[in-house]
Amino acid sequence: MHRVLCPVETLYVGQRSRAVLSCTLRGPVDVAALSAAFDAMTEANPPLRSRIAQDGAGHVLRLLGEDERPRLITRTGDDEDEAYAAELNRPLPVGGPLSRAVLVSAADGERHLFVLAVDHTVTDGHSSIALHNALWDRYRALVEGHPAAGASEDGAPRWPEPVSGLLPPADDAETAKYLDSRLEAVRRNPAELVPYDAATGEGAGAQGHIEVRRLTLEAETTSRLRRAARDAGVSVHALIAATLLATARRRLGGEGARTLGCLSPVDLRSRLSPPVPTAALVPAVTTHLQTVEVSEASEPLELARTVHGRLGDFLARGDHVHEMRITPEIPRNPALQLATVIVTNMGVVPGPRLPEGLRAADVRLAPAREHYFPQAGRSPVMACVVSFDGRLSIEFPHFTACFSPSFMRAFRDDVRAGLLSFATAADTRPAPATTG
pLDDT tens digits, one per residue of 389-412: 899 999 999 999 999 999 999 999
In this structure, which topology does domain 168-350+371-428 adopt according to CATH?
Chloramphenicol Acetyltransferase (3.30.559)
The CATH 3.30.559.10 domain(s) of the chain lie at 2-143
Task: Find the angle CA(330)-CA(303)-CA(418) to the nearest 5 degrees.
Answer: 105
3-state SS assignment for residue 222: helix
Provide DSSP, 276-316: PPTTS-S--EEEEEEEEEE-TT--HHHHHHHHHHHHHHHHH
Residue 153, number of CB atoms within 10 A of its CB? 6
Dihedral over alpha carbons 380, 401, 120, 51 (to 10 degrees): 150
* pLDDT above 70 coverage of the chain, percent: 93
Q: Which CATH architecture has domain 2-143?
A: 2-Layer Sandwich (3.30)
E strands, 124-222, in order: 194-195, 210-216
The CATH 3.30.559.30 domain(s) of the chain lie at 168-350+371-428
What average pLDDT does this structure show over 242-246? 98
pTM of the shown model: 0.93
Could you report the per-residue pLDDT of 26-46, keeping only the tens digit for each?
Answer: 999 999 999 999 999 999 999
Alpha-carbon torsion (125, 130, 131, 135), positive or negative: positive
User: What Cα–Cα distance (Å) separates residue 286 from each residue in 124, 133, 137, 198, 421?
Assistant: 11, 24, 29, 31, 31
Q: How confident is the model at residue 432 (pLDDT cuts 50, 70, 90)?
A: very low
Q: How confident is the model at residue 335 (pLDDT cuts 50, 70, 90)?
A: very high
State the Cα–Cα distance between residues 320 and 11, nearest whole angstrom. Answer: 17
3-state SS assignment for residue 383: strand
Rg of the chain (C-alpha set) = 22
